[in-house]
Structure 1
Amino acid sequence: MSERPFRIDAGDTSVECDPDQKMLDAFLRAGVWIPNSCNQGTCGTCKVRISTGTVDTPPPLDTVLSHTEQEQGFVLSCQSVPTSNLEIDSVTVDSSARHHVLRDISGTVGSIRQVADDTLTVTVMLDEPLEFTAGQYVELSIPGTGATRPYSMANPPGQDGELEFHIRRQPGGAATDGWIFDGMTVGEPVAMTGPWGDFCFTPDDPDLGLILLAGGTGLAPLKSIATAALELDPEREIHVYHGVRFESDLYDVEHWQTLAANHPGVNYTPCLSRGQWSGRTGYVGDAVIADLPSCKGFSAYLCGPPAMVEAGVKALKRRRMSPRRIHREKYTPAIQLSPV
């Protein structure tokens, strides 16, 4: 195999890609934005069409790239490594402030705190600041394995020197059972790559309210988004719904209650899908339908398990929210080859 970088031409844009480097990684490190979400080959967001050249790529799922698309030359840039110079369909060079150059990051564990059953809040003190947009994630490198796992930032951009992550244990998970819940210590070094993802807070019309629907640790990027939105407009109307199974799975309750007390436009509603308690029960999508007769004056961000996200989208559409204002991020266990 050649040790020289391959060239990828995309219209008026060209980047160099090392022989063992994924195409998406090369583009983002060069400051050329390609839409991306899971970075695991399960969502299809980063697909591009190759007109000339060859790549090494694992067989994609039929649900991600159809046989017709594969015959037309489409590949997943997050999974494909060039084996020759390439020409692909043009990409848009987007200089938007919400898109940032991908880079390697280092830091040390600042704190580890159990906040709910099988859920930790971990902070990492960075060696140098990281520019990102609220809603994005980084990939943490699992020591001694060569593997990575994606975790969303829960803190807003601009807090130089520290990142906050909400991490739920995945039984048998290489990152959680193999490291974070079993052996991670305060002060140990952490290697990361980021920022990734197009689940990004967009300021939109300041007159629009926000509806934030979270399942489990899908609350993390929504915490970042809510904080960023309130920094721009402390009076903004924001409805936060956090769905978990049992009361023992709830966390950050005091944070949201304090936020609601300090900002009259913020409403926080935790919902339990199982078990009994004094608060709301059922699913977050049903709670939205019960509480809001119309969602026409809002935009929404949803993050959590796929079933919760899809049900939430249906609820928002039922309440007449425009599809273009619905932003979503699905979390599934890494052992199923998708974001944690």
Structure 2
Amino acid sequence: MHGITVEGSSHRFSCDSDDTMLGGGLRAGLGMPYECAVGGCGTCKFELLEGEVEEVWSAAPGLSDRDRAKGRKLACQCRPTSDCRIKIRLDDACRPIIVPRRFGAVLASSEDVTHDIREFRFRAASPAAFLPGQFALLRIPGVPGVRAYSMANLPNDEGDWHFQVRRVEGGAASSALFDRLDRGAQVQIDGPYGTAHLRTTVARDVVCVAGGSGLAPMLSIARGMSQSGMLETQRLHFFYGAREVRDVCGEAQLSALQGFGDRIRFYPVVSAPDLGNGTTWRGQTGFVHQHVEQVIGAQMPECEFYMAGPPRMIQAMQDMLHARHAVPTAQVHYDRFF
């Protein structure tokens, strides 16, 4: 255990040598800024003023050459090997509502969602504590490092954690999950993480926008709205952006919620409909952010937005919401899937 002092503040926390600076800080209840927690976004940059650290992924894309030249590091990729003094900007908005913890879980079952997305259901010995829309880090046997996956289900006393994973060609983690992990296999779960969680006290109508396996956290938010009674007074507009017709998903899960077709509206959009192989698509085509603009229009500043998907989708949504419709940043919550 090492002591970490935050320069310019009264904060000092303890961090295990097998934990990251980010994990240790969040477990201590500090508002350490982050987004992806796996080295892709660069939000958790810090400066090491004193002490030594081990960099788990020294080539993480979250750091630019300029960052490295200035000696900056990523808190999610650094483990302390001594007491340290660091310089980092703390943000109360990142202070965890539920402190992340690490624990073991076993694979209970799995089920295909599409041709390349599968839901893996793990069970732990203690209750599953998280907020709808959050994610966790999985350590998978035989796979170096951790992977971030969002929960599709709701918090529960049974200890169930449901993750939707897209098979990535050549991907070590997805290959292990799809091809080598049998029922009863153990993984380590570290969570929950993420600030793009459902705000149950906000009375605005909700717009969820998902792409790929970003379906999972958006489903969790939809289910959270249903469970909390929000749908009695608010509407949910749920957009799903797919590349091909065979990638479209989400309707089966949403249709199980009370109010589907009335207070819950589902809008699938296909960007590259494959009409040459006998497949007919009579729905919307194009990019999902374009259809959001067509449907919601002038009502955008009156809505709360939740988004999960590829960085390009998130960026297009941000440009559209903020630049063209002046939606306040406080009403937009997102996870980019790196």
TM-score, length basis structure 2: 0.85
| Unaligned segments of structure 1, at least 5 residues | 333-340
Q: Are the structure 2 counterparts of residues 290 and 93 from structure 1 closer, same or farther at C-alpha, using a change threshold of 3 Å?
A: closer
1:225 aligns with 2:231: no
Which one of the candidate residues 190, 195, 204 is aligned to 1:198?
A: 195
SS in 2 for 1:293: helix
Structure 1 residues 268 and 42 mapped into 2: Cα distance closer, same or farther (>3 Å)?
Answer: same
Aligned residues: 325
Q: Is the 8 A contact 1:124 1:164 kept in 2?
A: yes
Offset from partner CA, 1:139-183 (integer Å, 9 cap, x none): 222213343221100112235321111111101111122x22112
Distance 1:102 1:63 in 2: 22
CA gap of 1:21–1:140, structure 2 versus 1, over 3 A, is closer
Identity among equivalent pairs (%): 30
SS at match of 1:198: coil
Partner Cα separation in structure 2 for residue 48 and residue 129 of structure 1: 33
The alpha-carbon distance between structure 1 residues 89 and 96, as it changes in their structure 2 partners (threshold 3 A), is closer
For the residue of structure 1 that corresponds to 2:73, the secondary structure is: strand
Counterpart check, 1:314 vs 2:319: yes
Structure 2 unaligned regions, length at least 5: 274-279
What do residues 7-60 of structure 1 show as CA deviations (whole Å, max 9, x unaligned)? 112222211234454211221233333122222222122123444444444656
CA deviations 1:185-221 (Å, max 9, x no partner) are 2233232222223332233531x11111110110101
Which residue does 1:8 correspond to in 2?
4
Give matches, 1:27-46, under 5 Å.
Answer: 27-46=25-44
Match of 2:305 in 1: 300
Distance in structure 2 (CA, Å) of the matches to 1:289 and 1:95: 28
Q: 1:327 aligns with which of 303, 324, 333?
A: 333
User: Cα deviation per residue 1:252-287 (whole Å; 9 max; x = unaligned)?
Assistant: 322223437457322111111111412221111010
Task: Measure, in 2, the Cα distance between the counterparts of 1:135 and 1:44.
Answer: 21
SS in 2 for 1:175: helix
Question: What's 1:175 paired with?
Answer: 173
Match of residue 282 from structure 1? 286
Whether 2:122 is the aligned partner of 1:120: answer: no
CA shift digits 1:58-103 (9 cap, x unpaired): 65678745737963x6432112233443233476595999522222
Alignment of 1:1-340 (within 5 A): 5-10=1-6, 11-57=9-55, 64=63, 67=66, 71=70, 74-89=72-87, 99-158=97-156, 160-177=158-175, 179-206=176-203, 208-232=204-228, 233-235=230-232, 236-259=234-257, 261-262=259-260, 264-275=262-273, 276-294=280-298, 295-317=300-322, 318-332=324-338
TM-score under structure 1 normalisation?
Answer: 0.85
Letter in 2 for 1:271: V
Question: What RMSD, in angstroms, separates the aligned Cα atoms of the two structures?
Answer: 2.7
Indicate how the Cα distance of structure 1 residues 157 and 21 shifts in structure 2: closer, same or farther if over 3 A, else same: closer
Instruction: Tell me, in whole angstroms, the C-alpha distance in 1 between the residues paired with 2:118 and 2:138.
Output: 15
Partners of 1:95 and 1:277 in 2: CA distance? 42
Q: For the structure 1 residues 185 and 105, does the alpha-carbon distance in structure 2 shift closer, same or farther, using more than 3 Å as the test? A: same
Does the aligned pair in 1 maintain the 2:47–2:88 contact within 8 Å?
no
- 2-structure distance, mates of 1:144, 1:56: 21
The residue type paired with residue 240 of structure 2 is H
